[in-house]
A and B are shown apart, each in its own frame.
Chain A
């Protein structure tokens, strides 16, 4: 039997992520010497072909970066253009957009918690396999997901690549009666989401903590979703316009995604753990109670427990969607007029998997001259690699098959959207 330390293991596809990539972990004499998340999703060049398009087109074009979180792309794009043109969308128009965004959070979080991440903890290949032993859990998860998708359909026109957002507001505002049809499904979803917090809290979590800077949006009086300043638990507090002076993207040979770091070279994290750490007080009372009920308090530094935090955020998103519907009054006009002017605009919002930054330069006619898009998964890539290193170092005793599963689970902690970051992960563990 060959020495384990000289074995090279290749496991097949890492599944249950959005997009394609590969993973290399090299272990030499019991030491992890190399960890690389290789994103080989072919590049699609959005930033290049946005040049020459009209500023009003970015909303529909950038949504095609990601079928899982199109609203995030749409919202970051419209807010960038609006801020550039000196327009702020408020009142019920903003409330409708936030409602749409809550729909995306519900749909995306429900998908990730139950269908992509929970099977890791419970030892199933996927949700369909899990449904054989836990039919009620999967049936509930699908109801929850459907409630989010229904919000997307009614407010946005459809679930994937909604069509109703535009620079200045929306194309059409829904009638009160249309939104009322969502209430019953959302009320049921709220009960299921509360159950999800309790259920996920009882899972078996590997003992691992990280100490990276948590970066998220923040705005007084609200949980960060559609706007805010860029803040961190290390004291960062900047306007979106200053984003690029505090964060840098670099290109590494093994990946089609650009890696983001703080300008001082340090690693940071975006997503549910970061939002929970910096805006816990802004969760709805019900969401905070749910967190407290399972002993979860900020900051939560074990990335495996992100599944519980995501469940708390689900409670919040459903709760807030119901409140937005209850307070809804039909606005007089579906959109504000936005007249283009030459300049640079910045748009930030919180995709379900973390902060998404857009920067556009346009000319006086509204033609896009330059576009920069920094998706959440590129920002988390350095942290994912660091976690992999940390997790592998603590789990060297595990048999290779189990180690592979643990590595995949570590990656899924971040709900990575690799299509965004530029397709399937392949895990390649080399022990030399």
Chain B
């Protein structure tokens, strides 16, 4: 790969509306960062370097959601400059926590936060990147898991499928031997319907999963909702659990009071 005759693949990291935490996960790969920098050319990553290399890029990592007219146009340019485009994190894959505006009056939100709302330009919705351009892979999480990020980068560059489990957080609890917080303590937990990837951190800290990796493939949300009601979980708690970090991702979006 790193022979003088072979061009290093160009990596770019793009930011849209987000907290920067997912791209920080790349810098948090303290043991692997310099090795990665040996294998790829970091061509565009403003949070880490002011040096920029023109596209096209072999792999673009995109963090954040689309919330402005300008960003609707910018993501098209990013797509056309990228051979492979991978979205990282709940903002990019589902609209993020800022998608809570999608079911509210955004003008009211602007007026609440800003004294002079006329200076604020924003869309009424926060939408995932896949609603605007074709996406080659979506890595979930709020935040993403850095080991999964390295797996996805490696796989994209090698031209193979990333080995990312599509099962639930429940399976991760079983694998690490964590006692079920719902069975043992009646704690509401989104583990049965949430995409695996974090390693089931919350239950290992004695709390229920709050769904930050978003819905798994084919989750049974209604069965879980029934179970939570049987355990006397209030409708408000159920609503808030489904409608926070991945509020716009189906079927979380239609769960709870928004469901039939």
Which single residue of chain A is at the shortest CB-CB distance from B206? A172
Given the complex, which residues of B lie within 8 Å of A14, measured CB to CB?
A: 46, 50
A262 → chain B closest CB, angstroms: 18
Complex partner residue of B22 from A13, A15, A20, A67, CB under 8 angstroms: A67
Complex CA gap A131/B38 in Å reads 11
- The interface bits of chain A over 312-345 (1 if a CB of B lies within 8 angstroms of the residue's CB, else 0) are 0000000000000000000000100000000000
Q: Which of A9-39 contact B (CB under 8 A)?
A: 12-20
Is A250 engaged at the interface, CB distance under 8 Å to the other chain? yes
Q: Are A256 and B120 in contact (CB under 8 A)?
A: yes
Q: Are A251 and B47 in contact (CB under 8 A)?
A: no
Is A381 engaged at the interface, CB distance under 8 Å to the other chain? no
Which single residue of chain A is at the shortest CB-CB distance from B36? A128
Complex CA gap A388/B28 in Å reads 31
Q: Count the B residues whose beta carbon is within 8 Å of the partner chain — how many?
A: 65
Complex partner residue of B51 from A67, A125, A250, CB under 8 angstroms: A125
Is B34 engaged at the interface, CB distance under 8 Å to the other chain? yes
Complex CA gap A12/B237 in Å reads 46
Given the complex, which residues of A lie within 8 Å of B28, measured CB to CB?
A: 145, 149, 159-160
Complex CA gap A272/B59 in Å reads 38
Q: Are A15 and B47 in contact (CB under 8 A)?
A: yes
Given the complex, which residues of A lie within 8 Å of B25, measured CB to CB?
A: 159-160
Is A70 engaged at the interface, CB distance under 8 Å to the other chain? yes
Q: Are B34 and A65 in contact (CB under 8 A)?
A: no
Residue with the greatest number of chain A CB neighbours at <10 A, chosen from B15, B20, B24, B115: B20
Q: Are B97 and A42 in contact (CB under 8 A)?
A: no
Q: Are B52 and A45 in contact (CB under 8 A)?
A: no
Complex partner residue of A142 from B30, B42, B201, CB under 8 angstroms: B30
Q: Are A43 and B120 in contact (CB under 8 A)?
A: yes
Q: Are A61 and B19 in contact (CB under 8 A)?
A: no
Known A48-B108, A158-B201, A160-B21: A64·B97 in contact at CB below 8 Å = yes
Given the complex, which residues of B lie within 8 Å of A298, measured CB to CB?
A: none
Q: Are A48 and B50 in contact (CB under 8 A)?
A: no
Given the complex, which residues of A lie within 8 Å of B106, measured CB to CB?
A: 45
A353 → chain B closest CB, angstroms: 13
Is B236 engaged at the interface, CB distance under 8 Å to the other chain? yes
Complex CA gap A423/B50 in Å reads 15
Complex CA gap A48/B104 in Å reads 10
Q: Are B116 and A68 in contact (CB under 8 A)?
A: no
Q: Which of A49-57, A234-242, A280-288 contacts B (4 or more CB under 8 A)?
A: A49-57
Q: Which of B13-46 contact A (CB under 8 A)?
A: 15-25, 27-28, 30-31, 33-34, 37, 42, 45-46
Q: Are A15 and B115 in contact (CB under 8 A)?
A: no
Q: Are B18 and A419 in contact (CB under 8 A)?
A: yes
Is B255 engaged at the interface, CB distance under 8 Å to the other chain? no
- The interface bits of chain B over 46-89 (1 if a CB of A lies within 8 angstroms of the residue's CB, else 0) are 11111110000000000000011001000000000000000000
Is A206 engaged at the interface, CB distance under 8 Å to the other chain? no
Known A48-B109, A60-B210, A172-B205: A149·B122 in contact at CB below 8 Å = no
Given the complex, which residues of A lie within 8 Å of B48, measured CB to CB?
A: 15-16, 115, 126-128
Given the complex, which residues of A lie within 8 Å of B37, measured CB to CB?
A: 128, 131
Complex CA gap A52/B247 in Å reads 15
Is B174 engaged at the interface, CB distance under 8 Å to the other chain? no
Known A42-B67, A49-B109, A163-B207: A68·B24 in contact at CB below 8 Å = yes
Is A195 engaged at the interface, CB distance under 8 Å to the other chain? no
Which single residue of chain B is at the shortest CB-CB distance from A12? B52
Given the complex, which residues of B lie within 8 Å of A67, measured CB to CB?
A: 18-24, 143
Complex CA gap A172/B50 in Å reads 41
Q: Are A45 and B98 in contact (CB under 8 A)?
A: yes
A378 → chain B closest CB, angstroms: 12
Q: Are A19 and B20 in contact (CB under 8 A)?
A: yes
B62 → chain A closest CB, angstroms: 13
Q: Are A15 and B112 in contact (CB under 8 A)?
A: no
Is A231 engaged at the interface, CB distance under 8 Å to the other chain? no
Q: Are A64 and B201 in contact (CB under 8 A)?
A: no
Is A414 engaged at the interface, CB distance under 8 Å to the other chain? no
Given the complex, which residues of A lie within 8 Å of B18, measured CB to CB?
A: 67, 419
Residue with the greatest number of chain B CB neighbours at <10 A, chosen from A42, A129, A408, A419: A42
Is B4 engaged at the interface, CB distance under 8 Å to the other chain? no
Is B8 engaged at the interface, CB distance under 8 Å to the other chain? no
Q: Are B47 and A49 in contact (CB under 8 A)?
A: no
Q: Are B34 and A139 in contact (CB under 8 A)?
A: yes
Is B224 engaged at the interface, CB distance under 8 Å to the other chain? no
Q: Which of B84-130 contact A (CB under 8 A)?
A: 96-98, 100-101, 104, 106, 108-110, 112-116, 119-120, 122
Known A67-B143, A171-B207, A424-B46: A161·B212 in contact at CB below 8 Å = yes
User: Contacts A16-B49, A47-B113 given; 9 further ones with Cβ under 8 A?
Assistant: A15-B48, A16-B48, A44-B17, A67-B20, A67-B22, A157-B204, A158-B201, A160-B28, A424-B46
- The contact sample of 27 A-B pairs, CB cut-off 8 A, is A13-B46, A15-B46, A17-B47, A42-B67, A42-B68, A43-B113, A45-B101, A45-B109, A47-B112, A66-B20, A67-B20, A67-B21, A68-B21, A115-B27, A125-B51, A126-B48, A146-B31, A159-B28, A160-B24, A160-B28, A163-B202, A171-B202, A171-B207, A172-B205, A250-B115, A251-B114, A423-B16
List 4 tightest A-B contacts by C-beta distance, closest first: A67-B21, A126-B49, A125-B51, A15-B50
